[in-house]
Amino acid sequence: MTDDLLGRHRAVLPDWLALYYEDPLEITHGEGRHVWDAHGNRYLDFFGGILTTMTAHALPEVTKAVSEQAGRIVHSSTLYLNRPMVELAERVAKLSGIPDARVFFTTSGTEANDTALLLATAYRRSNTILAMRNSYHGRSFSSVGITGNRSWSPTSLSPLQTLYVHGGVRTRGPYASLSDDDFIAACVDDLVDLLGHTRAPAALIAEPIQGVGGFTSPPDGLYAAFREVLHERGILWIADEVQTGWGRTGEHFWGWQAHGRNGPPDIMTFAKGIGNGMSIGGVVARSEIMNCLDSNSISTFGGTQITMAAGLANLTYLLEHDLQGNSRRVGGLLIERLRAAAAQVPAVREVRGRGLMIGIEITRPGTDEADPQAAAAVLEAAREGGLLIGKGGGHNTSSLRVAPPLSLNVAEAEEGAAILENALRSIQ
């Protein structure tokens, strides 16, 4: 029973391991864009295991690839040649846009970002990292140390010196009232001033759209403008595509492409959606950066055959069915539907995002003051209506996160929007 499972969970797992809902949910199976709980209730899934279920639950092409690979060999480590790993690396390298790219597979986005930091600091001989305010890059000691979101940074200790740059949140902070062009100019001036007060950093790491931060983003072109400043000084640009990659934003295959007038990033990290639930992360970098390490290394579980088989099948399905285009079309309809609904709810400060990556910020009506209790109430009400969504945000977790599988159809988008509209109205 779920109640007994909750008691067992609390008895053996850490107190800081967060659970959604006052009555936590056990998901037992899924199909398409729907999941079922242990009591047989069906839900439309608009969060996909924190953006990991990129195409669909129980996608036949992926489950078949996993089953067939499991029947051959599950794992052998990177000490041996691995055909599925090489094949997926070839495809990712080409899709990345990074010239002469090398790919290293990990088991998570946290580990991918940790590896990117290792590469950048070794290549630049500097342990100073620039990161964005309101950012989140993972749970390891190094990635927590560059997380600019207090709610998700449990320690101030870090092996890195981290300097936080302004610009990840367009509608808050000292530059919020400026036009997009003036906002970018002010953030660039802030960056230049910051660099004048420190030793040369190794890299800037940035999410094109901040995930845990509540799906916030700067105006298009900010990171291109940053890169001009960074490139002059030899500072690397790391694009954290753990949540924005693989076409989720609709307009672009990678989030960095909204800021790409000066070319691709030096290093790019990815994870979550590529495995459709299987544990895959990775780093793409120019060869001279990836090959800068002067010691041996392996990955026991990174790139294991069964996860690579899943990734290959999932990526093939995504490209053949143009799920990026579907994200653009259906996501555009969904965000306009949610904006229309939110216009009638004073507690909604902003509906933002692009493609199937949509944030709804909840505040006390008439103010910019976060209202995490109201956001939690909407989360509960949506569940009662048969819809699962996420939450986040840099201001006391007061943003709702909407990120369905990229195969979402128009009817499901309308159904989810109607449930969410009722949930939002319930807090008035």
* 89's tokens: 């690396």
Same domain, 326 and 307: no
Residue 2 confidence (pLDDT) above 60: no
Same domain, 304 and 391: no
- End of a domain among 285, 300, 320? 320
DSSP 206-258: E-SSBTTTTSB---TTHHHHHHHHHHHTT-EEEEE-TTTTTTTTSS-SSGGGG
* 408-412: average pLDDT: 98
Q: What is the pLDDT of residue 53?
A: 97
Q: 3-class secondary structure for 277-326? A: CECCEEEEEEHHHHCCCCCCCCCCCCCCHHHHHHHHHHHHHHHHCCHHHH
Cα(259)–Cα(248) distance, integer angstroms:
16
* Burial classification of residue 231, based on how many CB atoms lie within 10 Å of its CB (0-12 exposed, 13-18 middle, 19 or more buried): middle
- Sign of the Cα torsion 261, 249, 247, 163 reads positive
Rg (CA), the chain: 21
The answer to whether 427 touches 406, Cβ cutoff 8 Å, is no
Q: What is the pLDDT of residue 72?
A: 97
Q: What is the pLDDT of residue 159?
A: 86
* Burial classification of residue 83, based on how many CB atoms lie within 10 Å of its CB (0-12 exposed, 13-18 middle, 19 or more buried): exposed
* 293's tokens: 């390490």
Q: What is the pLDDT of residue 395?
A: 66
- End of a domain among 277, 302, 320? 320
- End of a domain among 299, 320, 341? 320
Q: What is the pLDDT of residue 242?
A: 97
Same domain, 307 and 416: no
* 236-265: average pLDDT: 96
Residue 35 confidence (pLDDT) above 90: yes
For residue range 329-356, what is the model confidence (pLDDT) as tens digits?
A: 999 999 999 999 999 999 999 999 999 9
| Cα angle for residues 343, 171, 51 (degrees, 5° grid) | 80
Q: Tokens 């298009």 identify what position?
A: 220
Global pTM reads 0.95
* 31's tokens: 């199909």
* 85-108: average pLDDT: 98
Same domain, 111 and 234: yes
Residue 152 confidence (pLDDT) above 80: no
For residue range 219-230, what is the model confidence (pLDDT) as tens digits?
A: 999 999 999 999
Question: Which residues, in sequence order, are CB contacts of 349 under 8 Å at separation 6+?
Answer: 361, 362, 363, 368
Domain count, the chain: 2
Mean pLDDT of the chain: 95
Q: Tokens 């309101």 identify what position?
A: 134
Residue 145 confidence (pLDDT) above 90: no
For residue 22, the enclosing domain spans 2-59+322-425
Same domain, 110 and 170: yes
> Which CATH number is 236's domain given?
3.40.640.10
Partners of 354 in beta bridges: 357
Percentage of residues of the chain with pLDDT beyond 70: 99
37 — pLDDT class (breaks 50, 70, 90): very high
Residue whose C-alpha is closest to residue 303's, from 283, 285, 276: 283
Per the document, the length of the chain is 428
Same domain, 256 and 388: no
* 94's tokens: 């080409």
For residue range 253-312, what is the model confidence (pLDDT) as tens digits?
A: 999 999 988 899 999 999 999 999 999 999 999 999 999 999 989 999 999 999 999 999
394 — pLDDT class (breaks 50, 70, 90): confident
The answer to whether 306 touches 69, Cβ cutoff 8 Å, is yes
Name which residue leads in pLDDT, 387 or 149.
Answer: 387
Same domain, 332 and 315: no
Same domain, 145 and 284: yes
The answer to whether 283 touches 137, Cβ cutoff 8 Å, is no
Cα(6)–Cα(282) distance, integer angstroms:
33
For residue range 169-213, what is the model confidence (pLDDT) as tens digits?
A: 999 999 999 999 999 999 999 999 999 999 899 999 999 999 999
Q: What is the pLDDT of residue 390?
A: 97
| Cα angle for residues 106, 215, 316 (degrees, 5° grid) | 45
Q: What is the pLDDT of residue 223?
A: 97
The answer to whether 33 touches 356, Cβ cutoff 8 Å, is no
Residue whose C-alpha is closest to residue 315's, from 278, 274, 356, 280: 274
1 — pLDDT class (breaks 50, 70, 90): very low
Same domain, 261 and 365: no
* 9-15: average pLDDT: 96
* 38-51: average pLDDT: 97
Same domain, 260 and 173: yes
150 — pLDDT class (breaks 50, 70, 90): confident
Q: Tokens 């499991």 identify what position?
A: 70
- Sign of the Cα torsion 51, 54, 56, 60 reads negative
Same domain, 151 and 11: no
Same domain, 21 and 111: no
